[in-house]
Structure 1
Amino acid sequence: MKVTALYVYPIKGLRAIPLTTATFTRQGISHDRTFMLLQVLESGSLKRMQLSDFPACALFEQELVDDTIRVLYHVPEVPLAPDHPLQHQPLSVPLTPEDLASLDEVDVDLHNSPVRARRVGDAQDAWFSACFGFPTTLVYIGDGRRAVVGPNFLPPGSGSGAPTKPSTGWLSSVSSYVTSFTQPTAPADEEEQNDVWLTFTDCAPFLVTSEASLAAVSARLPPVAPAEMIKFRPNVVVDADGAGAWDEDFWAELGLPGDRRLQLTANCGEAGTVLKKLMKDRRVDKGSRWSPVFGRYAFLAGRDPLVVRVGDEVGVVRRNEERSVYDWPMHSKPPVKRPA
């Protein structure tokens, strides 16, 4: 089995950035979903902006340029907002904003896992507001940490999932490349247990999907409009090596280069037009009966970062006898107020 694609989404909701090489960390691919957009409502409250609810997010292309995120807005043929000069200019966002203490604090509740983030600045807010056509603010996770609030989502031996230590930033060291899938995962030590937390990723640091399952989705669609993997917003795509569609439902651990592991803990329940084709037989998670499943949420075992490349060999080193049960509490809460 091989890695066939890697994706990162520095600003949550915008287009993916395909990678040939990625640094895996405990919080996902380095810089993944460390920024998020919020709509500023007339009441002053903030509404989180995700692609599923704000399809205009797909008009924004992002790329990594040195230490910045370069964002381009592709104006549609039928404009969604009044023409504005900013729509035709690229936006530059620092990957790691400086002087966090000087940035306004913003409380964000994403899937009932709240965090205190930082507003990036007026220039970024003005640019996104001009493109969307309504007041928008860009926030940065900074040293904030979101808790994993679904017990079944937690990797083995990780404790409560509540973050306990301040952020130390993204790590940059690289582990050696040694392919071996023979040793079991070592028990998590105390430091590793305390390092289970999220940025603005939904419910886990990684989403793993399979080419074989994508082919099964495409088989249910017209030949002229096959399913696109990028619509499912994965981080890691594998070819499954003849294992067949939906085999990933039972994957518990994937062996990575350097004798490392991805611990796959929960199913990803999807929504959208394509997934309607899966409603008949892919509502296989007892904890989320109304959502068809595509892909698995995962955590990196071990504290050190790991470089992974497209084409790297991976393998299923542990399987579950039964499918995981989704237990993340997803009941809605009222929007939060923007600070004065």
Structure 2
Amino acid sequence: MLQVSALYIYPIKSLGGISLNTANLTDRGLQHDRRWMLIDDNNRFLSQRENIQMALLATEITDDGLMVTYRADGTSVTIPFFPQSNEMVDVTIWDDTCPGQLVSAEVDKWFTEKLGIPARLVYMPDDSLRPTDPRYTLDGMVTSFSDGYPMLLIGQESLNDLNNRLQEKLPMDRFRPNIVFSGGEPYSEDTMKHITINGVDIYGVKLCARCVMTTVDQQTAVKGKEPLKTLARYRLKNNKIYFGQNLVHTGNGIICVGDELKVLEVHNEERFFIKPAQAV
């Protein structure tokens, strides 16, 4: 039996994640996941890819809102669930542009001081609808400030297989999944087309291409060569390294650690298969 073994949300894009036992599934993914985002002076999203120190910002959900702690000095700031400002700006995430709501000047000042770069925090209100990629998903599907899709799925056996190839084992937080499952074979998530968890219909639509963020230690912000160096030997296809499956879903619901993951249909398209002959 395949079973949900971990759930994660990342309330502020590119900052630390939060482990959950139960998660509410909304129209654009797990509740609070990537509903906030830091932007620069050009209203473009900030990322660990260019600003590695963002890994030192840990997040947690409190009764008063979202608390962010800078590990380097232990200071924190609390962000209310709803912005104190009514000002809207058009923000850019990769090739997408969508409305974002500025949170507060006080919060902006705190992030700017901790990161050492101009930074403003925006929130995605419910009426800001950012479509998923129409090449891979149906019309009307939306996502948050994620890279492109509402959720990411990774099998624990896939990480176990990778760690068996590494000199130093890596934790799952390097890959920033939303749903982790136990059981099955390594990389079985690659071909999952239609799954259900607690009655919610979920669809795998695109393998997840990995970037340099996977090489950043999420506790120390120290960057290395792994896991990309090893993954490139056997998870390379069309010059991209893949690990995990991007998901969309229909309907809302609740997902819990321990829920059964049922596979109703698998992919047979070539793009979902990484053949050994294509590895280097």
Global fold match (TM > 0.5): yes
Q: C-alpha deviations, 1:264-297, integer Å up to 9, x for none?
A: 111100023312211122123xxxx222111111
How far apart are residue 219 of structure 1 and its match?
Answer: 1.6
* Per-residue deviation, residues 203-227 of structure 1 (Å, max 9, x unmatched): 11000001111012112210xx202
Contact kept, 8 Å, 2:43 with 2:92, in 1: the verdict is no
Question: 2:79, 2:23 → 1: CA distance?
Answer: 20
The one of 49, 54, 62 aligned to 1:57: 54
Please name the residue that 1:279 is paired with: 232
After superposition, where does 1:116-131 map in structure 2 within 5 Å? 116-131=99-114
Indicate the SS of the match to 1:292: strand
The residue aligned with 1:253 is: 194
Deviation at 1:235, TM superposition (A): 0.3
Counting matched residue pairs gives 257
8 Å CA contact 1:253, 1:263 repeated in 2: yes
Aligned mates of 2:20, 2:250 — CA distance in 1:
21
Gaps of 5+ in 2: 213-224, 273-280
Match of 1:234 in 2: 177
Partner of 2:67: 70
Check 1:238–1:88 CA distance in 2 against 1; reply closer, same or farther (3 A cut). Answer: closer
The Cα of 1:21 is off from its aligned counterpart by 0.7
Mapped partners of 2:193, 2:266: distance in 1? 5
Secondary structure in 1 matching 2:240: coil
1:301 and 1:46 map into 2 onto residues whose CA distance is 31
TM-score (norm 2): 0.87
Q: Tell me which amino acid in the other structure corresponds to 1:292.
A: I
Opposite residue 151 of structure 2, the aligned amino acid is F
Runs ≥4 residues deviating over 3 A: none
Cα distance, 1:26 vs structure 2: 2.3
Counterparts of 2:128 and 2:228 in 1: how far apart (Å)? Answer: 33
Cα distance, 1:140 vs structure 2: 1.0
Provide the secondary structure at the position in 2 that maps to 1:312.
Answer: coil
Counterpart secondary structure, 2:99: strand
Whether 1:30 and 2:13 are equivalent positions in the alignment is no
Secondary structure in 2 matching 1:131? helix
Show the 5 A alignment for 1:75-114.
75=72, 88-97=74-83, 103-114=86-97
Q: Match of 1:299?
A: 248
Output the amino acid matched with 1:26. D
- Amino acid in the other structure paired with 2:255: V
State the Cα distance separating 1:39 from its structure 2 match.
2.6
- Contact preservation (8 Å) 1:113, 1:148: no
Structure with larger Rg: 1
| Amino acid aligned to 1:265 | V
Identity %: 29
**What do the CA deviations read for 1:118-145 (whole angstroms, capped 9, x no partner)?**
1111100010011011221111112322
- Normalised by the size of structure 1, how large is the TM-score? 0.72
**What RMSD over aligned residues (CA atoms) do the two structures have, in Å?**
1.7
The answer to whether the 8 A contact 2:44-2:92 is kept is: no
Shift of 1:91: 0.5
Give the match's secondary structure for 2:173: helix
Residues 89-134 of structure 1: CA deviation (Å, up to 9, x unaligned): 3201112225xxx532222121212102111111000100110112
Q: Using the TM superposition, give the Cα deviation of residue 52 of structure 1 relative to its aligned residue in structure 2, in angstroms.
A: 2.5
Cα displacement (A) at 1:150: 4.3
